[in-house]
Amino acid sequence: MKMKKRKKNAITRRNRMGIIFVLPFIIGLFVFFIPALFNLFRFSMSDIQVLSGGRGYSLDFVGLSYYRKALMEDPKFNRMLLELLGTVLVQTPIILIFSLLIASILNQEFHGRTLARVIFFIPVIVSTGAIAYVQNNWVSIMTVSDLGNALADSSSSGVYALLERIDVGQGLIQVIVEAANGLNKIIRSSGMQIYVLLAALQEIPSSIYEAAKVEGCSAWECFWKITIPSVVPQIIICAVYTLISIFTATDTEIYEYIVNQEFVNNQLSFAAAMNVLYLMGVGVCLLVGGGIIKLGNLHKD
């Protein structure tokens, strides 16, 4: 009886600590996010008129007209949204496969393993905080002529020059350059996933692998029959994290288009409607991801 009471108290303390941990997020959700989201819906269904003399703004209700404009009249929004979804479908499995491969390598015993882990975690550090701000502003101050000179200099040496000398064609050269840029982006986008999967791999008891080897299983069979089933929940979590990272990136064409409509063309209501549609698409993807995670947990149980 005392053991059950002690266990119940431990669970209660753990739940209390969990509530305290997420309390700032809950407060921020109700104080900042939900009011801002409500205003976004209001703006997307109204014509916004900015009043002179700094007296604020007025709203004239127009219903779903801006939603119809975004979905049926605008020639770019649907195309960019579909292209982003295509990017998600392509990049997400590639990032997950790459992260699992690197995590499996980093989980092995070899000289310099700590240094290798630090190297693969550097993209996570670089992509956050002040370092990302400095990096983005350094890129933004480069002019078009600077970029042209840089490309001209790079084309006279290295792989680019080699491809030109063997006359493979500008089309193929462009494909190779884009593939290299894509690989760089995949590496930069895989840091957190690598360490989530690495932590999951370290939780697998080594005795399971030893027993499998005694039974005659090869390394390939151990990978598919032990490693993959053991890290399925973490793979699903990494998939959702990757989806969020791609959708919230600020260097996408659709993000730049919405920002341009809002701040350059002063189409505030139109931009708000596109933001709502974009958020709805993200929400659908997250709901699908949440359903997959729930199925994965049921499968684990």
84 inside domain: yes
Q: What is the pLDDT of residue 95?
A: 87
140 inside domain: yes
Q: What is the Cα 13 distance to its own chain's centre?
A: 33
67 inside domain: yes
DSSP string, 249-298: -SSSHHHHHHHHHHHTS--HHHHHHHHHHHHHHHHHHHHHHHHHHHHHHH
180 inside domain: no
- Specify whether the CB–CB gap between 44 and 276 falls below 8 A: yes
CA-CA distance, 75 to 162, in Å (whole number)? 40
236 inside domain: yes
Q: What is the pLDDT of residue 170?
A: 61
- Specify the number of domains making up the chain: 1
First to last CA, the chain: 27
177 inside domain: no
Query: Residue 284: which CATH number?
Result: 1.10.3720.10
| Tokens of residue 60, six digits | 């004239």
| Tokens of residue 227, six digits | 């490693």
pLDDT in tens, the chain (301 residues): 566 666 666 667 778 888 888 889 889 989 988 898 888 888 888 888 777 776 777 888 888 888 988 888 888 888 888 888 878 877 888 888 888 888 888 888 777 777 777 777 776 666 555 445 544 554 444 433 343 444 444 443 455 565 565 555 666 556 555 555 666 677 777 888 888 898 888 888 888 888 888 888 888 888 888 888 888 888 888 888 888 888 888 778 888 888 888 888 888 888 888 988 888 888 887 777 667 666 655 555 5
CA-CA distance, 287 to 231, in Å (whole number)? 21
CA-CA distance, 134 to 169, in Å (whole number)? 37
Supply the range of the domain harboring residue 207. 41-148+191-300
28 inside domain: no
* Helix/strand/coil for 18: helix
Paired residues of 289 in beta bridges: none
Amino acid, single-letter form, for residue 111 = H
17 inside domain: no
Cα distances from 294 to residues 236, 242, 274, 298, in angstroms, run: 10, 18, 30, 6
CB atoms < 10 A from the CB of 168, how many?
A: 13
Q: What is the pLDDT of residue 27?
A: 92
